[in-house]
Amino acid sequence: MPCGATQDRRVMVKRSDRMWSAGEGNRKPLQYSCLENPMNSVKRQNDRTLKDELPRSVGAQYATGEEWRNNSRKNEGMEPKQKQHPVVNGTGDGSRVQCCEEQYCIGTWNVRPMNQGKLKVVKQEMTRMNKNILRLSELRWTGMGEFKSDEHYIYYCGQESLRRNEVAIIVNKIVQNAVLGCNLKNDRMISVHFQGKPFNMVIQVYAPTSNTEEAEVEQFYEYLQDLLELTPKKDVLFIIGDWNAKVGSQETPGVTDKFGLGIQNEAGQRLIEFCQENALVIANTLFQQHKRRLYTWTSPDGQHQNQIDYILCSQRWRSSIQSAKTRLGADCGSDHELLIAKFRLKLKKVEKTTRPFRYDLNHIPYDYTVEVRNRFKGLDLIDRMPDEL
């Protein structure tokens, strides 16, 4: 029997998902009929349930009332689900889930203070632990501005003359390509705006301590609220820093989980109220882990540890956070531990337009001006008639 022929002398020709047959009758004209591919026929039968067929095994029912069959043959046509890292897309009322490609790491560290040579140590720790964004507090520098140091970019803000407070944000070369700008608010807060999908805003703060006057604390939260109101609601917002507050291990719905540390104090209650008003969640209270991964400050005698540094994030982007914990291996001579959080977001490189080069006519050398003037006078003599000379 030739290849592709059947017993009733029909030639089978495979085309896509169907088989076309040419059949010969008893001295009848040649007729063509379309036969279903057996493999696809079985697949289609698996996708539907025949009305007259009784189920062989019945499993649990879905909320929609549909039944799931436990027969393995019935599920051969179904593709396994791929593991994804979901990120809630908070645009509009109906939230969608999208899979982001890149994972970034953000950190906060109170360096107390940034003496000569300590910046090099901080950059080495940042590179060793693969941190993209690191905020610093209590640098005790003066002035404000930005500069580049090796492969890192530093944005800082402090007082003009007093070496008090001071905050800064350090980004590596990869993340710096997505920086749109920075807002040097004051010596207690600074913000950097990133080009992302959607846009991302990182605010670094250094809150007043517990022995500070109430007026200064209220002024701090007023300035921070003004900064938040300038941020669009659809942007991804991170507020990181040394809050000098204890939120405790008691769960607050929508703000903290039960994996905090210690007992809540008055400053912690003020922080929770601020988070409730602005739909923020405290990331390093969401994950169950050992106590050594929770405390961020150690007393000088080494007898007491507290959790006073926090990473805040928008509630709608809570699922983008993969982890939040302290890294005890990092050391820069401070009584604070390095607090980091890993998250999955998309950052886009900012296309920077090159400005056209302009010459400053006021700084052209005088000799060059005289030479050009003499040459133009020579051209003027060429155009004149002999009688005019």
pLDDT tens across 118-128, in order?
899 999 999 98
When mean pLDDT is compared across 77-81, 194-198, 221-225, the lowest value belongs to 77-81
Query: In this structure, what CATH number is given to the domain that contains residue 279?
Result: 3.60.10.10
* Torsional sign, CA 7, 10, 11, 14: negative
Phi/psi of residue 136, nearest 5 degrees = -125, 150
Interval 203-216: pLDDT, tens: 999 999 988 899 99
Provide the pLDDT for residue 196: 81
pLDDT tier, 365 (very low <50, low <70, confident <90, very high otherwise): confident
d(CA 244, CA 208) in angstroms, rounded, equals: 7
Look at residue 362 and tell me if it is in a domain. Answer: no
Q: Higher-confidence residue: 65 or 374?
A: 374
Number of folded domains in the chain? 2
pLDDT score, position 100: 41
Q: Are residues 36 and 181 in the same domain?
A: no
10 Å CB burial of residue 144 (0-12, 13-18, 19+) is buried
Range of the domain at 235: 96-344
Say yes or no to pLDDT of 341 above 90. Answer: yes
Q: Are 150 and 289 found together in one domain?
A: yes
Mean of pLDDT values over 190-202: 86
Q: Which tens digits make up the pLDDT trace of 1-38? A: 444 444 444 444 444 444 444 444 444 444 444 444 54
pLDDT at 387: 64
- Asked if the structure places residue 266 within a domain, the reply is yes
